[in-house]
C-alpha cells in the first residue's frame, strides 16, 4: 500500500471522526433548554448514558465484525448472522429460569451480566469453533448453519419464557428487551472495562490479523500459532457481541453494514484502519439514526427497523454482486 493511499485513508478516518463528533454533540444539545440549569442537567442525565451506550455498542459490533470476517476469511458473514445474539438471549433467559429472578445472581445486574458473559464466551467458542472446522469456512454452509442455530436458540428461549412464571417473565423482560429507547445503562461501567480489557488482552492477536488473512498455511509458515490465535479472537468476538446485545438488544445487520462500508471506503488490508473505520461508521449510524428517530419521527419508528431493512437489502446486494465464494 503506497504512501498516498495511507494518507488518503487517514483523511477519510478524520472526516468520519468529525462526523461522529457532530452527531454526538447534536444528540446531546438539540432541543435543550439552556436557560434553565435544572432542565439542562436533567437532559444531560438522560442523554449521556444513551450516547455512551451507543458508542460502546458501535465499537463492540464494528470491531467484532471485522475481526470475525478476517478469521473466517469471508466479508459477508458477521457474528450476529450466525445466531450469537440469540445465544446470548437464550443464556440470559436460562439463568433466570433455573435460578429465579429473586436469586442474587439474577437480581444483581452486573453479576448477572458477568455470568451471562462467561457462559456466552465458553459456549460460543466451543460451538462456533467446531462449526468452522467442520464446514471449512464455506460461506454457504456457515450461513445455513447460522440460520438453523438462530432458529434453534430462539425456539428454546421462547419455550422457556412460555413455561416460566408470569412474575419471573416480567422481571426478565425488563433486562432482556433492551433497545435504544430503553438502554441498559446499569452495566455501562462494567461494559467499558470489559471492552478495554478485551482490547488489551488481544492486542497481540489483533496485530497479527493482517497475517491471518493470508490463510492458515501461510500464517503458520510465518510463525503464527494459528489455532490459538483464532480461538482467542473468537472468544473476544463473542464477548463483544454479548456486551452489545446486553446494552441495546439484538441488531442483526449492523455489523454487516458498517464492516463492509469500512472495507469499501478504505480498501486496505490494514486491520487497525478497518476496525477504526467500522467502529466510526457504527457510531455515526447509531447516533445519527437515533437523532433522526427522536426528533423527526418522534419515536414512531425505532432505528433498529431502518438498520434491519437497509441491512437486509445490503446483504442481498453483497450476495448478488459477490464474484467468488
How far apart are the C-alpha atoms of 228 and 220, rounded to whole Å?
11
Confirm whether 292 is domain-assigned. no
- The total number of structural domains that make up the chain: 1
- Establish if 12 belongs to a structural domain: no
Please name the helix (run of DSSP H) or strand (run of DSSP E) that holds residue 119, with its range, or none. Answer: helix 109-135
Position 140 in a domain: yes
Domain containing 182: what range? 54-251
Q: How would you write the pLDDT of the chain (325 residues) with one tens digit per residue? A: 577 888 899 999 999 999 999 999 999 999 888 888 888 898 898 899 999 999 999 999 999 999 999 988 888 888 887 888 888 889 988 988 888 877 777 778 888 888 888 898 888 888 888 887 777 766 677 778 888 888 999 899 999 988 888 887 877 776 666 567 677 777 889 999 999 999 999 999 998 998 988 888 888 898 888 888 988 998 899 999 988 888 887 787 899 999 999 999 998 988 999 999 999 999 999 999 999 988 888 877 888 888 888 888 988 888 888 754 3
Structural domain includes residue 32: no
User: Looking at residue 105, which CATH number applies to its domain?
Assistant: 1.10.3470.10
Cell readout for 132 is 468452522
- Residue 181 located in a structural domain: yes
Q: What local confidence, expressed as pLDDT, does residue 175 receive?
A: 64
Cα–Cα dist 73/42, whole Å: 47
Please state, for a pLDDT cut of 90, what percent of the chain lies above it.
33
If 0-12 CB within 10 Å is exposed, 13-18 middle and 19+ buried, where does residue 290 land? buried
Q: Evaluate whether residue 263 is within a structural domain.
A: no
**pLDDT digits 0-9 by tens, 50-95:** 999 999 999 999 999 999 999 888 888 888 878 888 888 899 889 8
In a domain, 168, yes or no: yes
pLDDT tens digits for range 163-187: 888 887 877 776 666 567 677 777 8
Rg over CA atoms, the chain:
20
Give domain status of residue 163, yes or no. yes
Do 290 and 49 contact (CB within 8 A), yes or no? Answer: no
Residues 157, 245: contact at Cβ < 8 Å?
no
Amino acid at each position: 500500500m503506497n504512501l498516498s493511499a495511507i494518507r488518503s485513508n487517514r483523511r477519510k478516518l478524520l472526516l468520519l471522526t468529525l462526523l461522529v463528533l457532530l452527531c454526538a454533540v447534536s444528540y446531546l444539545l438539540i432541543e435543550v433548554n439552556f436557560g434553565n440549569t435544572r432542565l439542562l442537567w436533567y437532559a444531560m442525565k438522560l442523554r449521556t448514558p444513551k450516547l455512551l451506550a451507543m458508542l460502546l455498542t458501535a465499537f463492540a459490533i464494528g470491531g467484532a465484525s471485522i475481526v470475525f470476517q478476517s478469521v473466517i476469511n469471508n466479508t459477508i458473514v458477521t457474528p450476529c448472522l450466525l445466531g450469537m445474539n440469540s445465544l446470548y438471549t437464550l443464556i440470559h433467559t436460562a439463568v433466570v429460569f433455573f435460578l429465579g429472578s429473586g436469586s442474587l445472581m439474577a437480581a444483581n445486574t452486573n453479576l448477572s451480566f458477568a455470568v451471562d458473559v462467561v457462559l456466552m464466551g465458553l459456549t460460543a467458542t466451543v460451538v462456533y469453533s467446531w462449526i468452522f472446522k467442520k464446514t471449512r469456512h464455506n460461506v454457504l454452509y456457515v450461513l445455513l448453519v447460522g440460520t438453523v442455530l438462530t432458529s434453534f436458540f430462539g425456539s428454546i428461549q421462547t419455550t422457556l419464557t412460555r413455561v416460566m412464571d408470569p412474575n419471573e417473565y416480567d422481571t426478565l423482560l425488563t433486562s432482556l428487551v433492551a433497545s435504544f429507547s430503553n438502554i441498559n445503562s446499569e452495566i455501562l461501567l462494567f461494559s467499558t472495562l470489559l471492552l478495554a480489557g478485551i482490547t488489551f488482552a488481544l492486542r497481540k492477536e489483533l496485530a497479527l490479523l493482517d497475517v491471518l488473512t493470508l490463510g492458515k498455511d501461510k500464517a503458520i509458515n510465518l510463525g503464527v500459532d494459528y489455532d490459538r490465535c483464532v480461538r482467542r479472537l473468537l472468544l473476544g468476538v463473542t464477548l463483544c457481541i454479548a456486551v452489545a446485545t446486553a446494552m441495546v438488544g439484538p441488531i442483526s445487520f449492523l455489523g454487516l453494514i458498517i464492516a463492509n462500508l469500512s472495507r469499501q471506503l478504505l480498501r486496505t488490508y490494514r486491520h487497525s484502519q478497518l476496525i477504526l473505520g467500522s467502529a466510526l461508521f457504527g457510531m455515526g449510524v447509531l447516533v445519527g439514526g437515533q437523532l433522526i428517530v427522536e426528533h423527526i419521527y418522534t419515536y414512531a419508528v425505532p432505528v433498529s427497523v431502518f438498520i434491519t431493512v437497509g441491512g437486509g437489502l445490503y446483504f442481498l446486494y453483497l450476495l448478488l454482486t459477490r464474484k467468488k465464494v
